[in-house]
């Protein structure tokens, strides 16, 4: 028998959690939003009545209010969302030991050993949906299929509070007519590229020559072609498994546009310290530094640089980030936000080859210093002790640039 995989997706999750304590909002248009005063004025989630007005996640608050002047805005409470996410995963673990989170509100479950066929799988899915309603006052949609990609597609297919099955017998009939953009990891840009070669449905993608798609889309092309043909065999991770992230990053939006190198450098110092500390916390080092810059017109670009050696040291990250910015930005516009990210991560104990004895000494000294700072901050509170550069940066930035850390980064791995 082929595998039986569930994908469970909580409906309007952030908004639904807020409505647990405020049930009067269930029947009025409501959205969880970022802080407009801090220039994070976007919609993070919305309830079903708000959806009827065409309100979309990630659109600006003013755009949503133009569609629905009576829209009720609610602040985000991420500690609540994390709490319910943990409790839901604990419940799912009663059915299988393979529960893999996909964000706070989604999970894959490998139910192959728990059910005998799709009919029984639907019965269990209904039981889970009922328990979610009774025990948590939330609703979810469940997709059932023989792989993770199609199970995810199933949970998106019919909402809210529904179960969809794409079996190994009828999946082509149901899935191939769907838009290519519905497939996991086919974003707006990829969908537009596919449309240019008349690939508009999942079936179109499946029937296109795989080698051509690989050349046309690059390294992701063959993966998407395999997904469209039902060839995903990726396992569902065991409960509690923590994968090594692909990147560690942090970004910030300033209360006013940055207009000088000095403001940028101070901000990059703060971000580099944050990224370095998180790398060390998880015993990781980065081999590539990437910056993301958004100007006052909201245009975004990214630049990256390969490092001489893998690092978890803020000085190395900051130096690369500063040079990337100086080499790429012409100051024709002010900078609204900037981010620093380390990618191509390796474990800290993976070993590295250093050419000079003095370099070995310097690296060992820096590692001891960073460990001492992390130990003190861990025992007595974060940021009790800072490097001299960071301490100067925090003081000056708070006075001059009025930095506001972004509260919501779905792209961040940690």
Q: CA 167 to CA 162: how far, in whole Å?
A: 16
How confident is the model at residue 366, as a pLDDT? 58
Q: CA 190 to CA 181: how far, in whole Å?
A: 8
How confident is the model at residue 21, as a pLDDT? 93
Selecting from 3.40.50.720, 3.50.30.10, 3.40.190.10, 1.10.150.20, what CATH number does the domain 176-228 have? Answer: 1.10.150.20
Q: CA 209 to CA 116: how far, in whole Å?
A: 36
Tally Cβ neighbours within 10 Å of residue 233: 10
Active site residue 359: no
- Give domain 1-170's CATH superfamily: Reverse transcriptase/Diguanylate cyclase domain (3.30.70.270)
Helix (H) or strand (E) holding 343: strand 335-347
Q: How many residues does the chain have?
A: 414
How confident is the model at residue 357, as a pLDDT? 44
Q: Which CATH class is domain 247-405?
A: alpha beta
Tokens (6 digits) for 306: 């390969």
Tokens (6 digits) for 326: 């100086």
Domain segments of the chain as ranges: 1-170, 176-228, 247-405
In the chain, which residues have pLDDT < 50? 39, 353-360, 384-385, 389, 393-414
Identify whether the C-beta of residue 245 lies closer than 8 Å to the C-beta of residue 266: no
How confident is the model at residue 348, as a pLDDT? 86
Q: CA 128 to CA 125: how far, in whole Å?
A: 5
Tokens (6 digits) for 393: 């940066």
Residue 378 β-bridge partners:
none
How confident is the model at residue 378, as a pLDDT? 54
Cα–Cα–Cα angle for 217, 342, 40, rounded to 5 degrees = 85
Give the residue from 2, 381, 56 showing the smallest Cα distance to 167. 2
Catalytic residue among 18, 106, 273, 390: 106
Q: What is the pTM of this model?
A: 0.68
Cα dihedral value 313, 314, 316, 321, nearest 10: 150
């Amino acid at each position: 028998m082929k595998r039986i995989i569930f994908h469970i997706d909580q409906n309007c999750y952030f908004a639904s959690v807020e409505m647990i304590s405020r049930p009067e909002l269930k029947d009025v248009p409501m959205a969880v939003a970022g802080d407009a005063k801090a220039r994070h004025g976007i919609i993070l989630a919305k309830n079903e009545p708000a959806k009827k007005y065409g309100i979309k996640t990630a659109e600006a608050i003013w755009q949503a209010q133009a569609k629905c002047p009576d829209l009720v805005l609610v602040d985000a409470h991420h500690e609540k969302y994390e709490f319910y996410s943990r409790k839901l995963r604990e419940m799912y673990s009663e059915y299988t030991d393979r529960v893999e989170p996909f964000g706070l509100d989604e999970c894959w479950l490998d139910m192959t050993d728990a059910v005998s066929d799709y009919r029984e799988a639907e019965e269990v899915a209904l039981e889970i949906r009922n328990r979610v309603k009774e025990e948590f006052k939330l609703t979810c949609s469940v997709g059932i299929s023989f792989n993770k990609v199609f199970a995810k597609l199933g949970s998106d297919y019919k909402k809210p509070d529904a179960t969809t099955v794409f079996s190994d017998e009828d999946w082509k009939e149901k899935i191939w007519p769907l838009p290519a953009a519905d497939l996991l990891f086919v974003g707006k840009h990829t969908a537009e590229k596919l449309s240019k070669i008349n690939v508009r449905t999942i079936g179109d993608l499946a029937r296109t020559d795989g080698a051509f798609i690989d050349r046309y889309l690059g390294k992701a092309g063959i993966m998407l072609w395999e997904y469209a043909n039902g060839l995903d065999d990726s396992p569902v991770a065991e409960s509690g498994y923590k994968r090594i992230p692909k990147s560690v990053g942090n970004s910030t939006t300033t209360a006013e546009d940055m207009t000088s190198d000095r403001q940028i450098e101070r901000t990059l110092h703060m971000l580099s310290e944050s990224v370095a500390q998180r790398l060390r916390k998880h015993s990781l080092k980065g081999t590539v530094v990437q910056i993301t810059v958004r100007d006052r017109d909201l245009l975004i670009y990214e630049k990256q640089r390969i490092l001489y050696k893998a690092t978890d040291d803020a000085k190395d990250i900051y130096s690369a980030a500063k040079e990337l910015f100086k080499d790429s930005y012409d100051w024709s516009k002010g900078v609204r936000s900037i981010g620093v990210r380390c990618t191509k991560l390796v474990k800290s104990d993976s070993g590295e080859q250093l050419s000079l004895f003095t370099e070995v000494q310097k690296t060992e000294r820096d590692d001891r210093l960073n460990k001492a700072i992390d130990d003190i901050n861990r025992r007595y509170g974060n940021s009790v002790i800072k490097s001299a550069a960071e301490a100067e940066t925090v003081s000056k930035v708070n006075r001059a640039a009025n930095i506001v850390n972004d509260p919501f980064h779905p792209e961040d791995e940690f």
